[in-house]
Structure 1
Amino acid sequence: MTASVTQRIDLAPTRSCNPELAAGPWAFDSQPGYGPGASQADPMPSPVTHPGQLPQAYREMSSDQLHDRIRRAKAILAERLVILGHFYQRDEVVQHADFLGDSYQLAKAALSKPEAEHIVFCGVHFMAETADILSAADQQVILPNLAAGCSMADMADEDSVETAWEEICEVYGVDPHHVTPGPDGKLPILPVTYMNSSAALKAFCGQHGGIVCTSSNASAVLEWAFERAHRVLFFPDQHLGRNTAKAMGVPLEQMPLWNPRRPLGGNNPADLQEAKVLLWHGFCSVHKRFNVRQIAKARAEHPGCRVIVHPESPMPVVDAADAAGSTDAIRKYVAASSPGDVIAIGTEINLVNRLAAEYPDRTIFCLDPVICPCSTMYRIHPGYLAWVLEELVEGRTPNQISVSADVAQPARVALDRMLAAVPR
């Protein structure tokens, strides 16, 4: 799955959430500290460059200079380095990735290069944490820009989940610290966290018999969970949980929404007794933008077009689409299409643009006319990548992401279960 150089597609549509995102992100990273989605418990690495404090020289370099420096540093580091790139990254970064994939694929890719001393993760904070948990003790994981986080991951913090778990277990009459199977051998409830969550929440799942899922293997994970428990607490993305469980035949009335700001999540005990999936009140700000009106407009303007969306989209959007799937599933859907096909896609714009460039004999476009890239993914810029690679060449390790052993050990349990749940 080696990355190939792809044509750069600018944010060309006339309307964009913020066209300045295409430029250097340091203007958005003006405050010291971690950005959205980063673990608030993490100590700042040392030496450190705060977001917004990228050395001035890298901010002023031309694109050609930055790419030359990246290639030169990669050549020097050679087998000591592996660069992982998420599908949502900008093309200027993707062209330097050794592996390109979604969160599930990159979690496995982190295991495939045991000889690499340095894993540079061009993604967001929770992905770098996962890579550190799965990598060997002598490997270092680096996040080029510490402000690259995930607002969805911020929607479920450790304290809120712990509080919810205690309330839920009280309803089911079990000890929240030691949930045991009933007479039928099944647990009353089991936690499932989406990959888009902190290492602490992955550890919570590992400690309570739970598991991690990605959008690629969510169905396989829920099947695994229902073999072991009557119910699932699914966090932080309500839409992925609802869409996945509904496709498996779970009625909507058995999927109450858990709002952590309300007692019992806004539910009554009777509803919780009947529940199969308790859905955390979280969402992806990009995928939440897609709506049924956009699908109707696409079909009106392009009769016969097909629509595929990411399962983080709201349920009515998934229901109205022709297909739904992870970023890799969307890529495979387009690859299986034919020349002349028209495909409207509901996911992050970088992936859509990259597919449009890869298949110029098809009409491929984003459902959302107001282009909204993932602003935290966009914080990985060639300037940051050039800087961290040249620091590594000099023997310094900037922006290292390191998960403590007491968190990493139970999180690894939940992640290993995830890796074993192979999507069909």
Structure 2
Amino acid sequence: MSSVNTAIQLITREQAEQGATAKGSTCSPALAKGPWDYDLAEALAGIPAYGPGASSADVAPAATPRQGQLPEAYKLASDAELGERILAAKAALGDRAVILGHFYQRDEVIQYANFVGDSFQLANAALTRPDAEAIVFCGVHFMAETADILSAPEQAVILPNLAAGCSMADMADADSVAECWEQLEEIFGTEPDAEGRVPVLPVTYMNSSAALKAFCGEHGGIVCTSSNARTVLEWAFQRAQRVLFFPDQHLGRNTAKALGVPLEQMPMWNPRRDLGGNDAQALLDSRVILWHGFCSVHKRFNVGQIEKARKDFPGVQVIVHPECPMEVVDAADSAGSTDFIKKAIAAATEPTTFAIGTEINMVNRLAAEYPQHTIFCLDPVICPCSTMYRIHPGYLAWVLEELVAGRVVNRITVAESVQDHARTALERMLAARP
């Protein structure tokens, strides 16, 4: 099976040659270009953007990191040449460097990773290499921040393309959350109830900035992943009357609903509106206050896609990520983290048809890894994570060859004052095991 990048190249070429008669579709033909084209466009416009793909319509904050220009030699190099340079650099560095690749990363990059997994699995994988001088994180910005928090101070965490951010993580910023918290304290007060539960506790999804993890650590809160969100919410409800959950509304809603929290007790907080767009009584009656954030990859999935999959493939098993909207999770056979999805497919003993609702690179890789099954993405349009796609073999070759030359580029560093509180929230998460 060809990679997602290869498929996009072919589709774009066919569309140019045949127009509307071309087979297959992608959400943006610009995905066929090198990410350095987006770097240049942003530099010329002076405005950051997430690039083509699922998050192309999301507005990037002014402070979004931008990538400088990749040296021309890496832009012009063929795939084969880049591969040779990456392998040569890896050999020269040996155990001095470890490469981490997220499940959603393109195949052309993931093939060089020492470890492949979700964001927290990869941060933990880095801990198994304490002697590595550099941790090259082929993922997005918040993942590299977490790796820096958990790794040793002398280890350098490197993000091959600084523009590889996360639009969902950016939907909740430290100032907006702090302002929300102040308003909630005015309504709820700060005194615990007769059972010792505080009025509200902050819970942030792993897909958030280090600053927000630190906010949770400082205010008695905790971090969760998509695999342990239920356990974390149970932990929070033991300590608080209600939870402020950010930045992903869908993970929060789906998890709380599974715990029996009624939808009417889950108001949405829109940071652009007074009291988040709620009245004080709705907030007082709440159990979970959901932040107005979402993943643009998982927002693309809908019930119609599931209905079509069931019609076309009777007996199909539909598995979706809990970042999908509630109605999609309700219509699926099961929902879980990227690791849950991978394990569910691996556990199938008989040939099975799976329709998967998560990022296309992972689905495509699963289909190649398990040829005995029929595995396809619910969304027929090839539309990868915009920011993951900013990582390209050219950037990986560049940062590795710079390391060989004794230079560290694109280092991600979290301030010590932020690290301390963020580490506290992460340690609480680690202690809250399912």
TM-score normalised over the length of structure 1: 0.92
- Partner residue of 1:106 out of 114, 117, 122: 122
- Partner residue of 1:303 out of 314, 321, 335: 314
2:37 equivalent to 1:27: yes
Q: How does 1:181-330 map to 2 (within 5 A)?
A: 181-330=192-341
Where structure 2 has 5 or more consecutive residues not aligned to the other structure, the ranges are 12-23, 51-58
C-alpha RMSD over aligned residues = 1.9
Task: Provide, for residues 298-323 of structure 1, a one-character-per-residue CA deviation record: whole Å limited to 9, x for no partner.
Answer: 10111111100000000000000000
Query: Equivalents in 1 of 2:148, 2:101: separation in Å?
Result: 15
Compute the displacement of 1:340 (Å). Answer: 2.7
Higher helix share: 2
2:166 equivalent to 1:166: no
- Partner residue of 2:153 out of 121, 125, 137: 137
- Partner residue of 1:388 out of 390, 399, 417: 399
Amino acid at match of 1:166: E
Query: Equivalents in 1 of 2:27, 2:201: separation in Å?
Result: 38
Query: Equivalents in 2 of 1:154, 1:90: separation in Å?
Result: 22
Query: Equivalents in 2 of 1:29, 1:287: separation in Å?
Result: 25
Task: Provide, for residues 46-87 of structure 1, a one-character-per-residue CA deviation record: whole Å limited to 9, x for no partner.
Answer: xxxx62510000000010111111111111111111111100
Structure 1 residues 217 and 22, CA, compared in 2 at 3 Å: closer, same or farther?
farther
Structure 1 residues 40 and 182, CA, compared in 2 at 3 Å: closer, same or farther?
farther
Where structure 1 has 5 or more consecutive residues not aligned to the other structure, the ranges are 1-5, 45-49, 175-179
- Partner residue of 2:7 out of 5, 11, 22: 11
2:418 equivalent to 1:407: yes
1:142–1:399 Cα contact (<8 Å) kept: yes
- The percent identity for this pair of structures is 68
Query: Equivalents in 1 of 2:85, 2:338: separation in Å?
Result: 30
Compute the displacement of 1:221 (Å). Answer: 1.0
1:108–1:419 Cα contact (<8 Å) kept: no
Compute the displacement of 1:186 (Å). Answer: 1.1
Query: Equivalents in 1 of 2:189, 2:148: separation in Å?
Result: 37
2:169–2:208 Cα contact (<8 Å) kept: yes
Compute the displacement of 1:333 (Å). Answer: 1.0
Structure 1 residues 378 and 124, CA, compared in 2 at 3 Å: closer, same or farther?
same
Compute the displacement of 1:421 (Å). Answer: 2.5
2:189–2:199 Cα contact (<8 Å) kept: no
Query: Equivalents in 2 of 1:104, 1:143: separation in Å?
Result: 16
Runs of 4+ in structure 1 off by over 6 angstroms are 37-42
2:93 equivalent to 1:77: yes
1:38–1:147 Cα contact (<8 Å) kept: no
SS of alignment partner, residue 220 of structure 2: coil
Compute the displacement of 1:39 (Å). Answer: 8.9
Query: Equivalents in 2 of 1:39, 1:128: separation in Å?
Result: 19
Compute the displacement of 1:35 (Å). Answer: 5.6
Compute the displacement of 1:27 (Å). Answer: 1.3
1:27–1:52 Cα contact (<8 Å) kept: no
Structure 1 residues 158 and 168, CA, compared in 2 at 3 Å: closer, same or farther?
same
1:11–1:19 Cα contact (<8 Å) kept: no
Compute the displacement of 1:22 (Å). Answer: 4.4
